[in-house]
Amino acid sequence: MAQESPHIDATRLSRRSLLAWLASGAAGLAFSGPARAQVPPQAATPLPSFTGPGANPYWNGVNPFVSYPQKLPLLQITDRGIQLETPRPYFLTPFTPNAAFYVRYHLDLIPNALDLSTWRLSLEGNVERPLHLAFDELVKNFKGVSIAAVNQCSGNSRSRFQPRVAGAQWGNGAMGNALWTGVPLKELLAAARIKPGTMQLQFQGLDRGPGPEGKGADVVMKSLDVTDPALDEAVVAYLMNGEPLPMLNGFPVRLIVPGKFGVYWTKHLTWIRALTREDANYWMATAYRIPDTPRGNTTPAEAAAGALKTVPIGHVRMPVRSFIVVPDGSSKLPRGLPVRIQGVAFSGEGAVRKVEFSEDDGRSWVGATLGADHGPYSFRTWEHTWRPSRAGKHVIAVRATDGKGHVQPDAPVWNPGGYLWNRVERQALIVGAA
Amino acid sequence: MTGSRYLGIVLLAAAGALDPGSTALGQATKVPGLVQEGNYDSGNLGMQMQPAPQTDDAGAVYAVGPWPTYTPPLADGEGRELVQSFCGICHSTTYITMQPPLPAATWEGVVNKMIGAFGAPIPEPSAQAISAYLKNHYTPETRKE
């Protein structure tokens, strides 16, 4: 095949596309020297640069550490748009530090600078009194509330899927818990007076992409049914763990929808629209849909057949999950020492009621000790002291039960989007002779 | 790199080529509060200095530096420049290297999705060359690094 010059192709692009391409910075980036990750000083052997076609066996994704404004070094998923995974050690505490909180954008035009004197939050559409609220009006004119809630990406742990599916190859670190402070959404809706006939509320932030209007690469908009009870608990948050939100987590305000997946937690929230019909934009009608089956489970054959009924992932709440944070298997454990196992658990369907630990790969279970209760949508820390009886390899496991009685299953899940993973977690540990 | 990008925009604007409302930059004027967006620059890995505290600026603009890019190399081969140019309109090629090895049909589906659902302006012969490149380097049978 004859090699086609990108310059010739560029001249075939419409002027708009060419300008967008220049604006994207790709003109400079495409021909710059690529980054090559270095061997880590923390261990003699680095992880491989990719996993597959088998499942990723590691707790996090295998990607290198990278640095970003207002952030500690996090694990790269992608760099334009920006997706960053939180490293495992930051889950030792119930609240995830803002500087370590994961980042997930869909498009690449992410704000670098905002002017709060001209920024406004708009409530518009099918409302009696459209509002355009300045930041200080939002803070001063409405009573603030605080709620601890886990934000988890729909595709958290996608790299566990077998067969693998395309998408951000997260390990377990596309989640975080914070104390969110802001205005209850229902107060804003009451002030704007939603009119009868409203079917959905649509949320849109400042971030966007260079794509043409009406396509997925233009803007991301997410909508929830106006009757969804999750809206009663939703908050327009201007504080995260008591501090302003990092830019990459949605400064100046972000929508908090406790119990729902992060895709509905619109960052840089700027437009709230009352819709009189169901939102048909790409991000509702095509993306982020799950099979309408138990656990959203299906098979590659069923998905390929194309007859699967799907629903937006907003129709479900985050299923119960639990995690082992330490020990992480990076070091050998001397026999005879007690091992303090620690982790977190959460559920979008009511408080975690119970966490159980297994020292024998899930064959038998004992109750673990739960940490402080920060509310039904928060991480709940757990711990258990384990005394390994022999040297050699051990596989420990953890599972949680939520307030609705759901026990975390030990079967995988599969769907083409790579969503809703919540299988029992395991950790292999090596106990050495002493 | 950042400089060259904005220089490009400034030159186009000066030449009257920039039609407000039809480009990313033009749209910026319609977004309340937006001062700057999509500013990227190549990042440095390895030993890094700590960030300095915020400077003495009590104004209403809240700004951070450019978003650093750390784009791993793409496999060498025919079609690589097309991938960098066209896929790079909307995203870095880290979106490719980050994936597990995927079957050829999956890559073809991804290219079609970028054109159909996301609006990537890729002419048909280039789309085929891009699919061929991805199949030649990023399937379970062909992926090396």
ipTM of the complex: 0.90
CB-based contact, A52 to chain B, within 8 Å: yes
Tell me the average pLDDT across A379-388: 97
CB-based contact, A17 to chain B, within 8 Å: yes
Tokens matching residue A177: 């818990």
- Best to test chain A binding among B27, B62, B106 (most A CBs inside 10 Å): B62
Range with lowest mean pLDDT among A8-22, A293-307, A410-424: A8-22
Residue B7: pLDDT over 60: no
Q: What is the pTM of this model?
A: 0.89
Q: B55: pLDDT confidence band, cut at 50, 70 and 90?
A: confident
CATH class of the domain comprising B80-137 = mainly alpha
State the span(s) of chain A assigned CATH 2.60.40.650: 321-432
Residues paired with residue A202 on neighbouring β-strands, in sequence order: A223, A273
**Chain A residue with the nearest C-alpha to that of B74:** A34
CATH class of the domain comprising A321-432 = mainly beta
If we measure between CA atoms, which residue out of A356, A351, A379, A375 comes closest to residue A425?
A356
CB-based contact, B105 to chain A, within 8 Å: no
- Residues of chain B positioned with their CB less than 8 A from the CB of A53: 100-101, 140
Q: What is the pLDDT of residues A331-349, one digit of tens each?
A: 999 999 999 999 999 999 9
For chain B, positions 45-74, list CB contacts with chain A under 8 A. 45-46, 48, 51, 60-74
State the span(s) of chain A assigned CATH 3.90.420.10: 121-287
- Residues of chain A positioned with their CB less than 8 A from the CB of B55: none
pLDDT at A33: 63
CB-based contact, A261 to chain B, within 8 Å: no
- Residues of chain B positioned with their CB less than 8 A from the CB of A50: 97-101, 143, 145
- Kindly list the distances between the CA atom of residue A68 and the CA atoms of A29, A152, A281, A398, B70, in Å, as whole numbers in the listed order: 17, 20, 31, 33, 11
How many CB atoms sit inside 10 A of residue B15's CB? 8
Residue spans per domain, chain B: 2-44+54-69, 80-137
Residue B14: pLDDT over 90: no
Q: Which fold has domain A121-287?
A: Sulfite Oxidase; Chain A, domain 2 (3.90.420)
Q: What is the pLDDT of residues A284-311, one digit of tens each?
A: 999 999 999 999 999 999 999 988 999 9
Residue A37: pLDDT over 90: no
CB contact under 8 A, A27 and B4: yes
Percent of chain A, pLDDT > 70?
92
Nearest CA-CA distance, residue A35 and chain B, Å:
5
Tell me the average pLDDT across A321-326: 98
Helix (H, G, I), strand (E, B) or coil at A191: helix
Residue B4: pLDDT over 70: no
B17 secondary structure, DSSP code: -
If we measure between CA atoms, which residue out of A123, A99, A102 comes closest to residue A186?
A123
Q: B43: pLDDT confidence band, cut at 50, 70 and 90?
A: confident
Distance between CA atoms of B71 and A108, rounded to whole angstroms?
A: 14
In the structure, how many helices (H) and strands (E) does chain A have? 7, 25
Pairing between β-strand B67-69 and β-strand B40-42 as defined by DSSP bridges: parallel
How many CB atoms sit inside 10 A of residue A208's CB? 25
Percent of chain A, pLDDT > 90?
88
- Residues of chain A positioned with their CB less than 8 A from the CB of B38: 23-25, 108-110, 112
